[in-house]
Amino acid sequence: MHPKDEKYALRMKNVSKRFGGVQALDKVAMEVKAGEVHCLAGENGCGKSTLIKIVTGVYEPDDGTEIEVFGERISSNSPTKARAKGIAVIWQDLALFPHMSVAENIGIDELVGGRPRVAQFKSIKTRAQGVMDRLGVSLDLDAPLSSLPIAQRQVVAIARSLMSDARLVFMDEPTASLTQSETDALLAIVRNLSADGVAVVFVSHRLAEVLDIAERVTVVRDGKLVGVYPTEGMSQSRLGELMTGHMLESEVRARDKTGSDIMLRVTGLSRQDQFENVSFDIKRGEIVGITGLIGSGRTELAHALIGMTRTDQGTIELDREVVRPRNIREAIAKGIAYVSEDRLTLGLVQPQPIADNTVTSVLDKILGSVGLISSQKKNDLVDGWIERFSVKIGETSDAVSTLSGGNQQRVVLAKWLATNPKLLILDSPTVGVDVGARAGIFHIVRELADEGLAILLITDEITEAFYNADRIFHMADGRLQAEYDPHQTSVQQLEERVYA
């Protein structure tokens, strides 16, 4: 019997875990209501994954820890026992089987010895279809898992957990390597789960996402509970402060660039169903922010500027010359650089060495015989940028995947700056970067602006736009709604407009 009427899916207190000399968790408490979307937030290394591993039976907690799941006290735990109690977890590495089909992956926990596999799979497929309908997704059940992108594999992992009637699902940084549209789709699934009565504990670094999806957020810092807060009325700046324990940037650095030359002028730019009549300019040395909710058309605008998509109407002028890039290669040749939001999938070739990623083969291919970068200069360039950006690395021959998010982002920046751009478009540059490490990236961005680069900063982290841009546009429904001067407004006012 499932205690569905139980008010709390999870209640725990005094959760402690020590690894040798590291007190990973120190008397943490957490409560999740049935059917609630609850975020667990905190900086890297604060103990989020450890907490999840304790509830799901992977780690044994230290003495004194008390855990109650659906009103039932848990005295001894294991992954199997946790699953039997209706707990599921979607790990970052997903723990799926690439060589098996979607249906086989969804049904893997259901396979039991004895009965013929063919008969079992028939019933598994029927139930898998039912689960996908519940999630509001459609996937080819017969496709091999290896043919699916990471976002869809995640859906498979979620479907798998529902097959065993999970009523408390943990998702450990599920959006870390997703693009914004994939994130959007995942958030819709999480809402469906919650509407279906499943409680979801969602771990994320992204402040905007946390405030968007969760009803309440439990904040942990250095293994200790900071507090539990309703997301209603919570601002990104406040949440960031709770996570890091110190006031984040609170100094408005916006400079007045009214008198400077115009580097980028966009006039009446439209693309059907994506953005409409977008007009703005960016002066030489100016940082212009565009903020808004996920899906407001910001990334689509960036894609048009870099030549990834065509526009229906309007003009783009760069340095007083009309440009119509038909592809990324042409945009680069004209002086436009683009650090995409999906850094982890598009911007970098993860297993490749840092040196190759700075002036990657990807870029070499785009540039082709234009040959903006000679190969003998490559090492000098890499060393120069890495020194300048103080990327913390072992050897330039190490794989990029060994770097932290903040350092990866610096490598991507270095790669693009090697093309000597006039306009740098940054799309969600701090996704996957610790709140505390973001200042370093913006320090570099400001230096680049001071050297005359025009910078377009696209972000859904409102504080990020507020403290780093010289002017801010609010975009919604494919249109620029209004322009703000950070000296004349406040973060709270801006947040109220965006979330109105």
Ligand X SMILES: Nc1ncnc2c1ncn2[C@@H]1O[C@H](COP(=O)(O)OP(=O)(O)O)[C@@H](O)[C@H]1O
The residues that touch ligand X, with contacts defined as CB under 6 A, are: 19, 22, 24, 42, 44-50
C-beta closer to Mg ion: residue 49 or 236? 49
Among Mg ion, ligand X, none, residue 328 binds (CB under 5-8 Å by kind): none
What is the nearest approach in angstroms of ligand X to the Cβ of residue 25? 8
480 membership: H or E segment, kind and range: strand 479-484
What is the nearest approach in angstroms of ligand X to the Cβ of residue 175? 15
C-beta closer to ligand X: residue 55 or 252? 55
C-beta closer to ligand X: residue 154 or 357? 154
What is the nearest approach in angstroms of Mg ion to the Cβ of residue 52? 8
Among Mg ion, ligand X, none, residue 169 binds (CB under 5-8 Å by kind): none
SS3 309: coil
Among Mg ion, ligand X, none, residue 22 binds (CB under 5-8 Å by kind): ligand X
What is the nearest approach in angstroms of Mg ion to the Cβ of residue 351? 21
| Residues ≥6 apart with Cβ < 8 Å to 371 | none
C-beta closer to ligand X: residue 61 or 307? 61
Residue type, position 32, single letter: V
H-state helical runs in 136-179 = 150-163
What is the nearest approach in angstroms of Mg ion to the Cβ of residue 49? 3
Burial of residue 372 (CB within 10 Å: 0-12, 13-18, 19+) is middle
Residue of closest CB approach to Mg ion = 49
Please, are residues 203 and 232 in contact by the beta-carbon 8 Å criterion?
Answer: no
What is the nearest approach in angstroms of ligand X to the Cβ of residue 178? 18
Calpha distance 20→384 (Å, rounded): 40
C-beta closer to ligand X: residue 30 or 103? 30
C-beta closer to ligand X: residue 129 or 404? 404
C-beta closer to Mg ion: residue 48 or 160? 48
Please, are residues 388 and 284 in contact by the beta-carbon 8 Å criterion?
Answer: no
Strand order in the sheet with 321-323: 275-283, 262-271, 313-318, 321-323
Among ligand X, Mg ion, none, residue 42 binds (CB under 5-8 Å by kind): ligand X
Please, are residues 268 and 314 in contact by the beta-carbon 8 Å criterion?
Answer: yes
Structural tokens at position 157: 């992992």
Residues that bind Mg ion (CB under 5 A): 48-49
Calpha distance 53→31 (Å, rounded): 16
Among ligand X, Mg ion, none, residue 107 binds (CB under 5-8 Å by kind): none
Among ligand X, Mg ion, none, residue 400 binds (CB under 5-8 Å by kind): none
For the residues of 51-84, what is the DSSP string, one character each? HHHHHTTSSPPPTT-EEEETTEE-SS--HHHHHH
H-state helical runs in 245-348 = 298-305, 328-334
What is the nearest approach in angstroms of ligand X to the Cβ of residue 93? 13
Q: Which of 101, 172, 111, 174 is nearest to 142 (CA)?
A: 101
What is the nearest approach in angstroms of Mg ion to the Cβ of residue 262? 45
C-beta closer to Mg ion: residue 48 or 343? 48
SS3 347: helix
